[in-house]
Amino acid sequence: MERALGRHPTMRERVFTPEERAYCDAKARPAESYAGRFAAREAVIKALGGYRGKRWQDISVSRAPSGAPAIRLEGNAKVRADTLGVSKVLITFTHERTSAVAFAVAVAG
């Protein structure tokens, strides 16, 4: 992720929301946090079965009051979730210096 952010200066603004950028940039190793959030987006897209017209910022990672990660869907991601009858998306992710992994579950009802 560090390399991708360095090669593509506008990636931060295209992919991540202002809130996510503020959170990640405040970390000691921002690229790790960005990688975790990017992995979370990819996991959510897969949980929604993939869809056309996706915008990266239609899926964002925030924190629940408990501190757990939470997914916010907007735009085409929200439309896709509504079409599938998805009421919420659960997410977990982890990241280290060289890798990031995420797992998302789309919950119906």
Tokens standing for 4?
């991708």
Cα–Cα distance, 107 to 38 (Å, whole number): 21
CB atoms within 10 A of CB 74: 13
> What is the spatial distance between Cα 94 and Cα 102, in angstroms, rounded to a whole number?
7
The full set of domain ranges for the chain reads 2-108
* Homologous superfamily of domain range 2-108: 4'-phosphopantetheinyl transferase domain (3.90.470.20)
The strand pair at 59-63 and 69-73 is best described as antiparallel
pLDDT digits (tens, 9 = 90+) for 57-99: 999 999 999 999 999 999 999 999 999 999 999 999 999 889 9
pTM: 0.92
